[in-house]
Amino acid sequence: MATPEQIKQRLGRGTLSHNPALNNQQTDRAQVGFIRKEWAEHPTSGLTPARLAAIMQDAEYNNLTAQFDLADDIEEKDAHIMAELQKRKNALLGKAWQIVPPPNASKDEQRDADMVTDVINGIPDFEDLILDMGDGILRCVANSQIHWDQDGSIWYPGKFEQIPARRFTVDDDNRNKVLLRLDGGGKEELWPLGWVQHTHKAKSGYVARAGLVRVLAWPFLFKNYSVRDLAEFLEIYGLPLRLGKYPNGASKDEKATLLQAIMSIGHNAGGIIPKGMEIEFKDAARGASDPYMAMLDWAERSQSKAILGGTLTSQADGKSSTNALGNVHNEVREELLLSDLRQIASTLTRDLVWPLVMMNGTTFGHPRRRARLVFDTQQAEDLTEFSTAIPALVQVGVKIPSAWVNEKLRIPMPKEGEAILGLPQVPSAMPVAALKQMPSKTMELTPLTQSLANAAGAQLDAEITGIAALVEKAQSWGEIEQVLINAYSNQGAVKLAAIMQQAMSTAALAGRYDVELGN
């Protein structure tokens, strides 16, 4: 398919309306009339190893039609292959996408990216297009024709039409260049702007060998042999051996009559034979179905490995299946999904995003400055683990940008003026608790303050010792009061007041000291 530069050179911005792909479909022309009416063949009917090898060899000689038909048959006839492929294809629909402008985008580049986003969001069957592109996993080729429509000056895809893979072939000189088959064995290039042309590399190789059909065909063939043998085994299992005996000289007609009686007696439980002949019933047919089931199990496990990268995401055998091993197999499946999405995003960028920018935008310039489609494949981190780890890292001094945390947790950054969640207002604590949280500011002692403290401490200790001795003799608060009055009544009112003042000052200083210590 032509590159965007070639498209622009061929068409020009002023001649888009004359491009045939915008008003017609390439597959509707008379040159492909006979090809369009071809009926698909079914190469799996009576398939043998020799026939399968011949189909694959023809594909290597650029005759891909039989191999594409083989892929259709395999997917339709084998329920296990169909189920595993659907798992892989449906996983493509579970990821969000976005149109990303180039780095440090200008206003016009951002506007074009937003325009493409709006156009694609308006396509009703865009998810079906992605699902159809997933057919390339099996066939390698998955092409959809674009039916363009116009709304004013805006061109947009009205719908996408998937075209069967058997209607395509490859160039004789370039095995990776997909062409459209024409009547009489001719070929032609796909029209620019007319196709979403997807070639999926499920494995390395050119178009004929990059699909999984060549890997899955052999287990499919051997599985069919085992199914047939198992059906024959079940048909005779448990039935007795019926042995007919005819006398010497019996004619061919008599022998045929005896054989017919033997074959029908098992179903009708009765029959007639000429006199002189007899039928003996031997032991019932014996055996086991284990060999056939072992082959079936091997084939299906091989198919699961080829499609999903493992078996434990499809079935558990009760022996080797563990949670840890299942997680490993699921990680392999995630890696396959990332590969599929990367290839599909590349195709959609080339065949859908760039044409939309070219026809409707203003910034269709250098390829490195064009918008592109990107799938969101990042997994959100565990919120519980992050909420525990981040505060601990911050406390030890790790500098963590808030935008990085939002990205890891898949939490969008708030827009300007947007309401955000916050912690509830915590009522202020009691004044005492606030004082306890204040850092200690104990005054350093100087020689003067030390001497004053020693002098006051000796006198205070003497008075406290005397008061303590009096208090120990009292039996109640009333007696304590009376003992103190009796002990200091002879000191006079002035002296007693001084003692009481000294006691109050001492109590105040003691309280402040306790506050300083945080007690």
Residues 333 and 190 in one domain: yes
Distances (CA, A) of 123 to 24, 114, 134, 283, 326: 19, 15, 18, 69, 38
Residue 461 lies in a domain: no
Answer yes or no: do 287 and 354 share one domain.
no
Across 108-117, 267-276, 404-413, 438-447, least confident range: 438-447
Higher-confidence residue of 27 and 304: namely 304
The arithmetic mean of pLDDT across residues 253-282, rounded, is: 68
Considering the domain boundaries, does residue 349 fall inside one? yes
**Reported confidence tier of residue 204, pLDDT bands at 50, 70, 90:** very high
Check pLDDT > 60 for residue 326.
Answer: no
* Residue 84 sits in the same domain as residue 152: yes
| Same domain? 258 vs 353 | no
Q: Is residue 78 part of a domain?
A: yes
Report, in this order, helix, strand and coil percent for the chain, each rounded to 5: 55, 10, 30
Q: Does residue 172 share a domain with residue 273?
A: no
89 located within any domain: yes
Structure confidence by residue, pLDDT tens digits, 66-99? 999 999 999 999 999 999 999 999 999 989 999 9
Whether residues 369 and 389 fall in one domain: no
Residues 347 and 393 in one domain: no
Whole-number average pLDDT of the chain = 79
Query: For 230-244, what is each residue's pLDDT tens digit?
Result: 776 666 655 666 677
Write the CB contacts of 372 (distance below 8 Å, at least 6 apart in sequence). Answer: 99, 100, 345, 349, 353
Q: Are residues 116 and 208 in the same domain?
A: yes
What's the mean pLDDT in 316-343?
70
- Residue 278 in contact with residue 245, Cβ under 8 Å? yes
Q: Say which residue the tokens 């827009």 belong to.
A: 415
Which residue carries 């009703």 as its tokens? Answer: 124
Query: 122 with 175, same domain?
Result: yes
158 in a structural domain? yes
What radius of gyration, in Å, describes the C-alpha atoms of the chain?
45
Q: What pLDDT does 468 receive?
A: 64
User: Is the same domain home to 239 and 274?
Assistant: yes
Q: Is 67 within the bounds of a domain?
A: yes
Please report whether residue 451 resides in a domain.
no
Ramachandran area for residue 78 (φ above 0: left; ψ -120 to 50: alpha; else beta): beta
Could you tell me if 199 and 80 lie in one domain?
A: yes
Q: In what order do the strands lie in the sheet with 187-188?
A: 168-170, 178-181, 187-188
Residue type, 100: V
Together in a domain, 60 and 205: yes
Position 36 pLDDT exceeds 90 = no
> How many of the other CB atoms lie within 10 Å of CB of 401?
8
Residues of the domain holding 358: 4-215+325-375
Residue 505 pLDDT more than 90? no
Of 44-58, 234-248, 435-449, the least confident:
435-449
Band the pLDDT of 13: cuts 50, 70, 90: very low
pLDDT tens-digit series, residues 19-34: 787 888 888 887 776 7
Please give the DSSP secondary-structure letter assigned to residue 101: P
The verdict on residue 488 lying in a domain is yes
Say which DSSP state 370 is in. S
Q: Which of helix, strand or coil describes residue 286? A: coil
Band of pLDDT at residue 501, cut at 50, 70 and 90: low
pLDDT at 344: 97
Domain total of the chain: 4
Please answer whether residues 371 and 113 qualify as being in contact, where contact means their C-beta atoms are separated by less than 8 angstroms.
yes
The SS3 of residue 320 is: coil
